[in-house]
Structure 1
């Protein structure tokens, strides 16, 4: 079975909205579009994290598809990312689109989770999610994402669309690779690692103050 890999840029506080430019996605009054631009440098290997889609088939949410469709076909044919994204197979999850105009794009029908599970079972290259925040959240909850490539930028945005929302499924992740760019971007790869293992540091018997604090919490007075 081929893997489903999610790659995205996030701020230190988990925002993934509009990293590429002010006009990319200003919905919700977001005014910090283009926040990754100042940190780009030659040490960043976009291909290694799947951001160029090379040798993979893309799975995109509707908004990310429309951003890409309006940009990449109009870039130079010599641009390596444009070349791979324009030529690559693309699967698009949307409840509103009825037809797709970007080369080699296919609209996914029916339940998106079961459809992508079926895609994973087919022979072929790994499946690559880029951006597509709503779709990532749906597939994360369904536990079918096999790998996360998260590039964390040293910036706090305060508001915007988050990679993981309050509906995210609790899960442990295992770090399998990490590098830091010259500009301070932490480029990490994680894989799911089962349930979260809970525990507590050993300590003496709780003090009277601690018992009183717990009582306040139980009474919702804390």
Structure 2
């Protein structure tokens, strides 16, 4: 049985939109604006450890295309070990429009996303890592398919922007399972999703 892990960078006020500034959001680019050199080294080590522990990647179309476009230069930007793992992992992308994915080991899930991801969880063992993909993450949370949430919090308040939990239909209890400092300015939080206690 697979375990779906949502992993994302987030501002202190919960914004997940446009961390690298490529989407044109007026406050985008906060990742590199608020990460120090030591922070970046530790962040890379954290991401590498996480990728090495995963059995597959599950991505929305936009996040998939972002990663795929950077795959050739991933080693130079983030490091050989992380890049090699990202390139070798089986990848599943949820999209009704993507026909010929330009990244190796990719399967397109173009049917009923909830049904196909539920089947993926049944057939895979180990962690299924979801990077970014906040629209997909919302769907996974809403349908109780997400098992763990990992947030790397950046020390900035933007005041506006899309948040991971902008559109939740109900309460979603979580249990804190890990807290770590990353470098001098970042903090990693890991939570398990738990079923709500009956009233």
Q: Fold match, TM over 0.5? A: yes
Q: CA deviation at 1:53?
A: 5.8
Q: CA deviation at 1:2?
A: 1.6
State the distance in 1 between where 2:28 and 2:197 align: 34
Structure-2 residue corresponding to 1:17: 17
1:170/1:180 CA distance change after superposition, 3 Å: same
State the distance in 2 between where 1:150 and 1:163 align: 10
Q: TM-score when scaled to structure 1?
A: 0.78
1:128/1:171 CA distance change after superposition, 3 Å: same
State the distance in 2 between where 1:130 and 1:32 align: 21
Higher helix content, 1 or 2: 2
Give the ranges of 4+ consecutive aligned residues of structure 1 lying more than 4 Å apart after TM superposition. none
Structure-1 residue corresponding to 2:4: 4
Gaps of 5+ in 2: none
Residue of structure 2 aligned with 1:35, choices 30, 33, 40: 30
Q: CA deviation at 1:169?
A: 3.2
Q: CA deviation at 1:182?
A: 3.4
Matches within 5 A, 1:1-222: 1-19=1-19, 21-23=20-22, 25-26=23-24, 30-37=25-32, 38-40=34-36, 41=39, 42-44=41-43, 45-48=46-49, 50=50, 52=51, 55-76=54-75, 79-195=80-196
Higher strand content, 1 or 2: 2
Q: Aligned with 1:126: secondary structure?
A: strand
Gaps of 5+ in 1: 199-222
Q: CA deviation at 1:79?
A: 2.0
Larger Rg: 1
Q: TM-score when scaled to structure 2?
A: 0.87
State the distance in 1 between where 2:198 and 2:157 align: 29
Across the aligned residues of Structure 1 and Structure 2, the Cα RMSD in angstroms comes to 2.1
